Structure 1
Amino acid sequence: MHYICVEIGHLLTHQSLTPLKSTIELENMKFYAYHGCYREEQTVGNQFTVSVGLETNSCNAVVTDNLKDALNYQQAYEIVKKEMAKPSHLLEHLAGRILDALFREFELLESAWVKVSKMNPPMGGKMDCVSVTLSKNRRDA
């Protein structure tokens, strides 16, 4: 059953209508990690930033003000941190692992995107970063 939250005076309640969607974004999380195809990247490492967007129905959390009814973004950070600690050759593989882990952990998660950026990549030219962004919907899985 889907809900939309309705305010009655100062009391929040819910009615069976449409979902109250929210996107929780964890932006520019910073990690030092060992991802890449080149030996130097795997031994010396590099700086990375990761951003994620997590879409969920937040009606119950809005009504109850209880963490058990919400998508816990501290847990989401810990999932990203854990995946960043496992070396990958490709940013695509890393981003896919992060998405899969988030969907495994959070039943409330309806869709998500993840952007992984390698800062100052060893490409023979000057640039801030190279990034890969992947997205996934639970209904498409």
Structure 2
Amino acid sequence: MKIQSSYIFLRNLRFHAFHGMLPQECITGNDYLVNVRIKFPLSEVFQTDCIADTISYADAYECIRREMEKPSQLLEHVAGRIGRCLIDSYPEVEEVDIEIMKINPPMGADCDGAGVELHLTNGKN
């Protein structure tokens, strides 16, 4: 059996953070949902059942949490930092998909949220 591609994901991570252009967003903050999908070769762990051969969900979460805690004006900047942190922490990462959604954004629209989605590739591979 051969693995064609493999991914690790963290879905619907919830944060209260202070990102945005409006002064009020920097004071009261907003709620966010973050989804991350990491393309990572799992063929070794498929055989070994050893955490050292994969990405720890907890470690990946810590990377995301640290970057979400840092206030930024733009979600694009936050998503880029998350991607950089994951790729720097795990050089074997091939690609990272990051989606950040601001719930109930202050733009006068009736919507679930607004946000960004990035697809990053590791230039080292």
Specify if TM > 0.5: yes
Cα distance in 1 for residues equivalent to 2:16 and 2:108: 21
Aligned residues: 125
Cα distance in 2 for residues equivalent to 1:55 and 1:138: 10
Conserved in 2, the CA contact under 8 Å of 1:20 and 1:59? Answer: no
Instruction: Report what 2:43 is aligned to.
Output: 59
Q: 1:25 to 1:137 in 2, by over 3 A?
A: same
1:131 to 105, 115, 119: 115
Q: TM-score, normalised by structure 1?
A: 0.84
Q: 1:140 to 1:63 in 2, by over 3 A?
A: closer
Return the index of the structure with the highest Cα Rg: 1
One-letter identity of the residue aligned with 1:98:
I
Deviation, structure 1 residue 74: 1.1
**Residue 76 (structure 1) aligned with residue 44 (structure 2):** no
**Residue 119 (structure 1) aligned with residue 103 (structure 2):** yes
What do residues 88-128 of structure 1 show as CA deviations (whole Å, max 9, x unaligned)? 10011111111011101012211111000000000012111
Does 1 or 2 have the higher relative contact order (CA < 8 Å, sep 6+)? 2
Judging by fraction of residues, say which structure has more strand: 1
Deviation, structure 1 residue 134: 0.4
One-letter identity of the residue aligned with 2:43:
C
Gaps of 5+ in 1: 1-5, 7-17
Q: TM-score, normalised by structure 2?
A: 0.94
Cα distance in 2 for residues equivalent to 1:140 and 1:133: 22
Deviation, structure 1 residue 137: 1.0
2:87 to 103, 114, 136: 103
Gaps of 5+ in 2: none
Q: 1:121 to 1:26 in 2, by over 3 A?
A: same
**Residue 40 (structure 1) aligned with residue 24 (structure 2):** yes
CA RMSD after TM alignment: 1.6
* Secondary structure at 1:75 match in 2: helix
